[in-house]
Chains A and B, each alone.
Chain A
Amino acid sequence: NAGVTQTPKFRILKIGQSMTLQCAQDMNHNYMYWYRQDPGMGLKLIYYSVGAGITDKGEVPNGYNVSRSTTEDFPLRLELAAPSQTSVYFCASTREIAYEQYFGPGTRLTVT
């Protein structure tokens, strides 16, 4: 069981570039989440999914898009990178809403 995996670990983008942060889980979890963590802050929810084909916005969705075509994968897309998107991004999953969320190792993104 690899748990929740994220790629890449680090990335530097130029303003206006696009990229996709990959997230995969092998625990057959229905619920998946994307968070961002700014320096000295807690995690804020960007998008989440309750199952394949179903996604919804969290607290800070602007500038991001997601898709969920399979149970295992939940990629996060940045279309036009901005310096305000410099952050650490975490993907998480859970079996059921009441249970703990399992987090990936994070992706550190810098936009310059």
Chain B
Amino acid sequence: AQTVTQSQPEMSVQEAETVTLSCTYDTSESDYYLFWYKQPPSRQMILVIRQEAYKQQNATENRFSVNFQKAAKSFSLKISDSQLGDAAMYFCAYRRSTDKLIFGTGTRLQVFP
């Protein structure tokens, strides 16, 4: 069975600094998708970034980028120039091409001014 592990229950970062959130996953599949979702206190789930496993290039969305290491089954999220509005729970998620999303347990990110 596929699993997603986020080993950092909490992280903190100073405003304007960079932070990296870790995620590892277990799968025997070669074709799948990986996602990072942000959940602010409002509880809304917001997609931050997605990565297709067949793409070697790491996905980037403005201040958010990933380090996708397929052989190591690692999918970390880097947030550059952190802002107070980045404070939230961040969930890593995995999906096979024909299957459902599997979520990790989340990392709570605090941003200090």
Contacts and interface: CB of A to CB of B under 8 A. Distances in A.
Contacts of B46: 103
- Interface size class on chain B is 20 to 34
A44 B43 contact: no
Contact of B106 (A41, A90, A97): A41
Given A42-B103, A45-B100, A58-B100, A98 B44 contact: no
B103 A97 contact: no
Contacts of B106: 40-42
A98 B33 contact: yes
Contacts of B103: 42-44
Contact of B43 (A40, A41, A88): A88
A101 interface: yes
A42 B104 contact: yes
- Range of interface residues on chain A? 10 to 19
Interface in B74-113: 91, 93, 95, 97-106
B104 A98 contact: no
Interface in A25-46: 33, 40-45
B11 interface: no
Given A45-B100, A48-B100, A100 B105 contact: no
Nearest to B44: A105
Contacts of B105: 40-42
Given A43-B91, A44-B103, A97 B43 contact: no
Given A33-B101, A44-B103, 16 more contacts: A41-B105, A41-B106, A42-B4, A42-B103, A42-B106, A43-B45, A43-B91, A48-B100, A58-B100, A88-B43, A97-B95, A98-B52, A98-B97, A100-B35, A101-B45, A101-B101
